[in-house]
Structure 1
Amino acid sequence: MVTGAGSGIGRAAAVRLIGEGARVVATDVVEQRLADLAAELDGRDIVTVAGDVSDVATIDAILEATEGTADGLASVAGIMDSFLPPAEMDDATWQRVFDVNLTGPMRLTRALLAGMIARESGSIVYVSSEAGLRSSVSGAAYTSSKHALHGYAKSVAFYYGPKGIRSNVVAPGGVNTNIVVEIKSEYAATRVGPVIEHIATPSVEAETIAATIAWLLSGDSANINGAVLPSDGGWSTI
């Protein structure tokens, strides 16, 4: 199961997993992106579900498509917050970012865990961000949601590791995707801009992150559980 599969890291992950022989159920909020992906992978084992991952109806549709038997989940879908700092954060932005970045992954994980627990097998990978490791590369809502996602992933690992289920996080640095990075706050620009300019490592292609996701979903990483793995070219060491 791959969320955010219509573009960027999610799309690269879906293509990579299918290339390695997986059957993929792919979801995205933009139906045309999924149609384009399915057309590119014509003849391969892919099922698409269009919808917002934070919507309960989408979760229900995913469960129907997977028949509750997903061996792995790559939770990639996420949105940013225009770098709004705490004093400028509005309720709507805060709620929307948390709905997509945290509540959606929680609901989908909860829905798929029943089948994984019954089989005593499963691997979950959440795509986070450098913003989950520091507070200077995005706004308050995005940063908070990614920190919270790390805690949730570790909670899944703690509770269900003994049941044969692994839960890990990939925290990318810059990635070349279609996400538009817009700084709506003048104050945030003065604080965030210099930090990114001086310490950010070069951006990579989405396929680089997809390779890490595929590894964490595979048996090759069988002893990795509850980890937050930076894939940032060393950015997190600065």
Structure 2
Amino acid sequence: MKLSGKVAIVTGGGGGIGAALAAGLAQQGAHVVVADLDPVRTGQVAAAVGGIAVAGDASRVEVLKEMITAAEANFGPVDLFFANAGIGGEAGIGESDEEWQRILDINLLAHIRAARLLVPGWIERGSGYFVSTASAAGLLTQIAAGPYSVTKHAAVGFSEWLSVTYGDRGVRVSCICPMGVNTAIHHNALAADDAASQLGANVVAKAGRVLEPEDVAAITLAAIEEETFLVLPHPEVLEYYRRKGSDYDRWLAGMRRLQHDAART
């Protein structure tokens, strides 16, 4: 899909990968609605890219409807939706159902709710693009961070399902699966008080180069132009994924060793 003249919504657009995506889209001539919880940062990014700001929780249907209405009123029908908002959640298995529900809402159900609102119109028009910011954790796993790993696997699975189900009806899908990126989620985990959160973040930091959000955005937008499903800003993830699929038990044993070794350092 060519981006010039297209209308895009970017959730989690107040910083990190989302802000970089918004800037990259604008540079290529797209019209952008920037959405995030923080109204100040959201407004600043929107102003910088000549877009529209919507402050609110991207997992809430009424906020998603507000984004779509703002896009249509100012630019026209939505062509691309970037389900980029995400949280890291607790380390370990998760201490409560409430915490699980919170991360499920943001990292997964927000994607599903947005697709419910947009896909019927895309099918009718014969064109639309859904972009999910998942994680390498959704293909491999994440040391220590149970809720994060589970929800990112689910985000990848939902993206796959969308592509399989609607790909022949004009709906394109891309799923972004980076490792370490220089974002608030990564830094918050590194600076966390609990050792488990730090353990997971340190493993990610040592697994490969920590990319800048602008790098991830550039790779993602290039993949969208080519209509590529799996976007791997860290190419080595593909080799790790192949090893996992070729011998699952060996891979699980290797991940346990990685966890053990990281805990000792």
TM-score by length of 2: 0.78
Change beyond 3 A, Cα 1:8–1:147? same
Specify the code of the residue in structure 2 equivalent to 1:62. M
The DSSP-based 3-state class of the residue aligned with 2:232 is strand
Contact 1:74 1:213 in 2 (8 A): no
| Number of residue pairs aligned between Structure 1 and Structure 2 | 226
Shift of 1:33: 0.6
CA-based RMSD: 2.1
Which of 209, 212, 220 pairs up with 2:219?
Answer: 212
Supply the distance in 1 between the matched residues of 2:153 and 2:78 (Cα, whole angstroms). 26
1:145 to 140, 146, 151: 151
- Structure having the larger proportion of residues in helix: 2
- The SS at the match of 2:173 is strand
Partner secondary structure for residue 130 of structure 2: strand
Larger radius of gyration: 2
What is the TM-score when the length of structure 1 is the normalising length? Answer: 0.86
Name the CA distance, whole Å, in 2 between partners of 1:130 and 1:30.
Answer: 26
Moved over 3 A (4+): 182-190, 192-198
CA distance in 2 between counterparts of 1:187 and 1:174 reads: 17
Correspondent of 1:24 among 11, 16, 32: 32
The 1-side partners of 2:81 and 2:205 are apart by: 34
CA distance in 2, matches of 1:196, 1:47: 34
* Counterparts of 1:116 and 1:100, CA distance in 2: 23
Structure 2 distance, partners of 1:20, 1:153, is: 25
AA aligned to 2:24 is R
Flag the 1:103–1:197 CA change in 2: closer, same or farther, 3 A: closer
Give runs of aligned pairs for residues 156-235 of structure 1, distance below 5 A.
156-179=162-185, 180-181=188-189, 183=192, 185-186=194-195, 192=200, 195-196=203-204, 198=206, 200-218=207-225, 221-222=226-227, 224=228, 227-235=229-237
Query: Secondary structure in 1 aligned to 2:149?
Result: helix
Pair 119,30 (structure 1): closer, same or farther in 2 beyond 3 Å: same
Identity of aligned residues (%): 32
Question: Residue 77 of structure 2 corresponds to which residue in structure 1?
Answer: 69
Question: What does residue range 56-135 of structure 1 map to in structure 2 within 5 Å?
Answer: 56-67=61-72, 69-82=77-90, 84-86=91-93, 88-135=94-141
1:29-44 matches, within 5 Å, as 29-41=37-49, 44=50
Seen in structure 2, the aligned counterparts of structure 1 residues 109 and 185 have a Cα distance that, compared at 3 Å, is same
Aligned residue identity for 1:139: A
Q: Which residue does the alignment assign to 1:154? A: 160
Tell me, in whole angstroms, the C-alpha distance in 2 between the residues paired with 1:79 and 1:28.
12
Aligned to 2:177, the other structure's residue is in SS state strand
